[in-house]
Structure 1
Amino acid sequence: MYEATFSIADSGSYTKPTKDADCRIELWCNDHSDLLYVSGTEIGPLLSQIRTDIGIEAEIHRDREAVVITESCLKQHEVAYIEQYLRMFNCLLLPPLRYENGEKQCRILALESKSLTDLYTELVSDDFSIDVRAKHKISMPVQSTPLLTLDDVLPELTERQREVLTLAVEYGYYDLPRETTTKAIAEEVEVSRRTVEDHLRRAERKLLTSLVSYLY
């Protein structure tokens, strides 16, 4: 199998608002509607554009990010979209589509390298502005997931646990060879060495317990 990443510049409803703005979209198409993960410091104007052009059925906001379900699929509003070309050359689109910096990034899978070349040639002949960011042979495509962020995975640490753990990392406690000791950290935060070690063990246990299931 072969995978290529095409970056396509256009002025679509999802692409144009991301140009010269700190915002980006990841899109999972469901034919009748789209699932969007929107992030960045300037997502307000982007969401307004989506609401006007496509419609928003539901949305969940958090600081600098949102999950959106649209009222209709973007393909219903565009004359030319890449999926119709994929069928011609027996290629597959690997979700999600990414919109950033005024461009749409598509990961495309094909059984033969020539299929990707022929697809590119056809798109260019139809006046698509394309930059090939990557093309390589693969054994397994990399999975992408929209809704899981570090905030969802990381456990809640106490203020003192965060402080002690941060100092331990900054001072090289976890380096090889070790650059500091729990005694030195204890002197910095003005508590006993045993208290520092207890905070570290509790913080480490919380982090490892939360993260270990995502290692597989």
Structure 2
Amino acid sequence: MYEATFAIVDSSAYARPTEGTDCRVELWCNDHADLLYVAGSAVEALLSQVEEDIGIENRIRGDGDAIVITSSCLKRHETTYIERYLESHDCLLLPPLRYENGAKHCRILALESASLTALYGDLVADGFAIDVRSKREIGAPSQPSPLVTLDDVLPALTARQREVLTLAVERGYYDLPRATTTEALGDELGISRRAAEDHLRRAERKLITALVSYLY
């Protein structure tokens, strides 16, 4: 069995608003409506676009994220989606679909490596712009969730959050005892202590929230 991840340039109502932002959309399709998980610093602007293009039936807003039920399914508004190619190549689409950086990220499962190659060839021939992010053989399961990859677990951090978190690790902020302070981190990055702490807390919250469900 083989799994591949394709990043497909996409102009849909879910991909387009993520371009140039740190936002991401995870989609579970239910034919008549979509269930979305939306996260990032520009969630409200993204939801406004979804409301305009697809319609929103209900939403639950969090701190930097949201769960959304749309009024209709994205497929009713699009003509160029890849699902119709899957059956002819004996491939399966593994939910959720993920939209970020203006692209749709699809995890695809096939019994044979050649099926993924043929699927890719047909999509490219029909004008899809595809970046193959990964392709691997799946052997005997060694953990309860053999299809989970780091891409699926790790959340999207903003560039500044990554910068502050990386510097904090490098300077020993998480050592015991701590080798630096948030004030020193802020000084090195040219931002205030309060801003450095805010970026760290937001990055930590995203990472801990994403990883905690895999501790059991």
CA distance in 2, matches of 1:48, 1:98: 19
Structure 2 match to 1:166: none
Which residue of the other structure, out of 133, 138, 142, is the alignment partner of 2:148? Answer: 142
Shift of 1:22: 2.1
1 CA distance for matches of 2:89 and 2:135? 16
The amino acid across from 1:111 in the alignment is L
Per the TM alignment, residue 215 of structure 1 is displaced from its structure 2 partner at its CA by 3.3
Could you list the runs of 5+ residues in structure 2 that have no partner in the other structure?
Answer: 140-145, 156-172, 178-211
Count of equivalent residues: 159
Find the counterpart in structure 1 of residue 159 from structure 2: none
Aligned ranges 1:53-68 → 2 under 5 Å:
53-68=53-68
Q: Which runs of 5+ in 1 are unaligned?
A: 150-168, 174-210
Instruction: Give the match for residue 18 of structure 2.
Output: 18
For 1:25, the aligned partner's letter is V
Q: 1:22 to 1:90 in 2, by over 3 A?
A: same
Aligned-residue sequence identity (percent) comes to 61
TM (norm. structure 2) is 0.68
Q: Separation in 2 of the partners of 1:215 and 1:45?
A: 33
The 1:214/1:100 distance shift into structure 2, 3 A limit, reads closer
Report SS of the residue matched to 2:6: strand
Partner SS for 1:104: strand
2 CA distance for matches of 1:71 and 1:99? 19
CA deviation string 1:145-196 (max 9, x = no partner): x9xx9xxxxxxxxxxxxxxxxxxx94527xxxxxxxxxxxxxxxxxxxxxxx
Q: CA deviation at 1:10?
A: 1.8
Where has structure 1 moved over 6 Å in runs of 4 or more?
none
Q: Distance in 1 between matches of 2:108 and 2:70?
A: 24
- SS, match of residue 136 in structure 2: strand
Measure the CA separation in 1 of the matches of 2:174 and 2:137. Answer: 40
State the SS of the aligned residue for 1:67.
Answer: strand
TM-score, length-normalised on structure 1? 0.68
Shift of 1:142: 2.0
